[in-house]
Amino acid sequence: MEMLDNASIGFIVVFLATLFIFGELMVRAKGLFGILGVVIMAMYFSYHLTASAGLWIVLLYAIGLVLIIFDGKVTGDGSIALVGLLLMILGLALPAPGIIYGVLVAMALIIAAPASYLFTKVFPPRNMWSKMTLKEKLSSDLGYNSMNEEYKDLVGKTGKTLTPFRPTGTVEIEGRPYSATTDNLWLEGNKTVKVIAVDGTRIVVVPD
C-alpha cells in the first residue's frame, strides 16, 4: 500500500474508482461496477485517513455522491449535482499528503466522471438522467414553437429591407429586424417588401 504515497498512483486509483462508481450510475451493470469502485476507493481512503482527517472526510465524499444521485433522480437541473461534485473533490483532496497529490486526485475525479459515459456505448444505460434530458428537450421545443408562432404572424405584413438581398438579407418589420429571403430575387436596401410565406424560421418576402 506504500505505493499510494506516489501521487501518480493516487491519480490512477481515484480515476479507476470514480470511473466504476459513476459507471454504475450510468449503466445497468448489476452492481459490479459499484462494488469495484467502492473497493478501489476504500483502498485510497483507508491509506490516507488520519486522526486529523478521519471518517468525516469519507462522509463528505459520500454526501457528495448522494447529492449527484438525488439530482439525477429528482431535481434534474444539475445545480445540486455540481455541489455534490465539489464535496467529492474536497473529500478526496483534503486527506492527500500534499498539494500536488490533492490536485491530481481532484483532476482524476473530474476526468473520470464524464469519461464513465463511455460505458453507455457498451452496456444498457440507466434512465437516471432521462428526466434532465427530457426537460432540456421540452424547453428547447417550447422556445422553438414559440418562435414559429411569432414568425407565422408576420405573413401579410410589410416592412423595409435594411440590407441588399442577394437573395437573402435583413428586413425590418414593425421596428424589428429579421433575416429573410426573396427566393432568388435581388433587391436593394430601403425597399418596401411584403411577407408572403413563413416556413419554420425562414421568412420569404417580395417587393410590395
Cell triple for 123: 452496456
HEC string of 89-101?
HHHHHCCCCCHHH
As a dihedral over the C-alpha atoms of residue 162, residue 167, residue 168, residue 173, rounded to 10 degrees, the angle is 40
- The letter for the amino acid at 64 is G
Residues 6+ apart with CB under 8 A from 41: 13, 14, 17, 18, 21, 61
Contact call for residues 14 and 41 (beta carbons, < 8 A): yes
Cell triple for 61: 465524499
Closest C-alpha to 48, from 37, 61, 63, 36:
61
* CA separation for the pair 168, 146 (Å, rounded): 23
Q: Which residues pair with 177 in a beta bridge?
A: 172
Domains of the chain: 2-134 (no CATH), 153-207 (2.40.50.140)
Predicted confidence pLDDT, tens digits, the chain (208 residues):
678 889 999 999 999 999 999 999 888 888 899 999 999 999 998 888 876 667 888 899 999 999 988 887 777 677 888 999 999 999 999 888 889 999 999 999 999 999 998 998 888 887 655 555 555 554 555 555 555 667 888 999 999 999 999 888 999 999 999 999 988 888 898 999 999 998 877 899 999 8
* CA separation for the pair 30, 28 (Å, rounded): 6
What pTM was computed for the model?
0.59
